[in-house]
A and B are shown apart, each in its own frame.
Chain A
Amino acid sequence: MNLDFAQLVPSIPYILYGIWVTLQFVAVSLVLGFFGGTVLSLFKIGKITILRWFADAYTSIFRGTPLILQMLIIYYAVPQLTGVDMGAFTAGVLTFALNSAAYISEIIRAGINAVDKGQKEAAMALGVSYQSMMLKIILPQALKNILPALMNEFITLTKESAIVSVIGALDVMRRAQIVGASNYRFFEPLLLAGLIYYLLVMLLTLAGRVVERRLAKSDYC
């Protein structure tokens, strides 16, 4: 047992800067994934057969293959096919957004279906358009119910983001590996990386609780 954190000290800022990269990565993927997931879920519950079919096929493919495979295809194989070369960060964000959209669409679909159908009928009977009904009546109630499941997905996304280190994006994980390799000491930087991810997830959990509490206000007052 010979842990030597003193040796790690000069590299700490380098690893910490990875937090910024990881956060950017997660935030962008999360927003895109959420948006994509919402659209897909509306396709799934909608009446247009071809869109429903598309959304189901999409979900099936992205859930049915490994994330890392999807990322390698987007990063290495798509440029080969199209000649469009994208950076590791872009390829990573794209993969995660596309992938989490599939999962999030299922969560939102379940949430929408769980909203009492009387809500839809009341909105219809009042002459409210489909669009306003969905945006103002159904989705807000669905989101409230699925918040825990959604937080789960966001937490998974944050942790899984470490996979982008494979294609060389300089996130926390990659930086920890680089520091480990240059010092020939892996335990200390990896431990630090682990701590960083854990704290990020805790922060996310806390934020989720705050949102949950705010949304719950219509239950009590």
Chain B
Amino acid sequence: MITVKGLRKSFGRNEVLKGITTTINKGEVIAVIGPSGSGKSTFLRCLNRLETRIEGSIMIEGTGIEQMEGQLRKKVGMVFQHFNLFPHFTVLENITFAPGQVLKTEKTESLNDAFELLKSVGLSDKANDYPAKLSGGQKQRVAIARALAMKPEVMLFDEPTSALDPEMVKEVLQVMKNLVKSGMTMVIVTHEMAFAKEVADRVLFMDDGKLVEDETPDVFFKDPKTERAQAFLEKVI
């Protein structure tokens, strides 16, 4: 579904991605892990053109993402580390805003969808609250619902639990697990190793802007091939 070839990205003289090549198939759940500064988030952000001026190519279903314009953001949803909910909108408005503006969905339909989504993330009672009133975990679940309201085919998660208090992590991971069960194609940058092990079909291990390992979680966590991955796993597990 997504084909990445020779992806390079620099910020000034600092080359953050040094030639990434991989394929993400429909329905696959990919965990991207690696040390800080390895380029995981940049890689993710390249996939929906939050980072532009890249070298190499990224294609979704055979079309280069530069040529997709509006279609790209309709197909690809994103969840951020810091939620980025719109603080001046209620929970409901956060979810219905983009469908109304971008997809021109009827108000009643987008409201129905929103209530449905809120139910699925367990926040039906928060529909009319402002984000400031929610806990971190609740905010992130709203953010997931907001992205899903656009009916994307792929969901990108940029460290979705890294900014949460420990006791909030589980509720967000649970929502993500439900999403995995629904068959959504997902690319998840994460430090939650247990979660990656449990839900991922493949683990991409990145270090210093390179894709060092691309394995199933069973193989990767038990028997990492590179020294770099071994050292990393020793520290985090």
Task: Write out the residue numbers on chain B whose beta carbons fall within 8 Å of the beta carbon of A119.
Answer: 84, 86
Which of the 9-residue segments A33-41, A137-145, A196-204 touches chain B? A137-145
The majority secondary structure among interface residues of chain B is: mixed
Q: Which residues of A from 119 to 134 have beta carbons under 8 Å from B? A: 119, 121-129, 132
Which of the 9-residue segments A78-86, A150-158, A213-221 touches chain B? A213-221
B50 and A221: CB pair below 8 A? no
Bound state CA distance, A65 and B133, in angstroms? 47
- A126 interface neighbour in B73, B87, B131, B132, Cβ under 8 Å: B73
B82 and A126: CB pair below 8 A? no
- B48 interface neighbour in A116, A125, A128, A132, Cβ under 8 Å: A125
Task: Write out the residue numbers on chain B whose beta carbons fall within 8 Å of the beta carbon of A140.
Answer: 88
CB of A10 closer than 8 Å to a CB of B = no
In the complex formed, the residue of B with least CB distance to A133 is B101
CB of B147 closer than 8 Å to a CB of A = yes
A220 and B132: CB pair below 8 A? yes
A127 and B88: CB pair below 8 A? no
- How many whole Å from A63's CB to the nearest CB in chain B? 31
Number of A residues with CB within 8 Å of any CB on chain B: 23
Task: Write out the residue numbers on chain A whose beta carbons fall within 8 Å of the beta carbon of B87.
Answer: 141, 218-219
Bound state CA distance, A125 and B76, in angstroms? 8
Task: Write out the residue numbers on chain A whose beta carbons fall within 8 Å of the beta carbon of B101.
Answer: 128-129, 132, 136
- B133 interface neighbour in A122, A124, A221, Cβ under 8 Å: A221
CB of B77 closer than 8 Å to a CB of A = yes
Bound state CA distance, A119 and B84, in angstroms? 6
In the complex formed, the residue of A with least CB distance to B146 is A126
CB of A13 closer than 8 Å to a CB of B = no
- How many whole Å from B107's CB to the nearest CB in chain A? 15
| Chain B residues proximal to chain A, CB less than 8 Å | 48, 50, 70, 72-74, 76-78, 80, 82-89, 97-98, 101-102, 129-133, 143, 146-147, 150
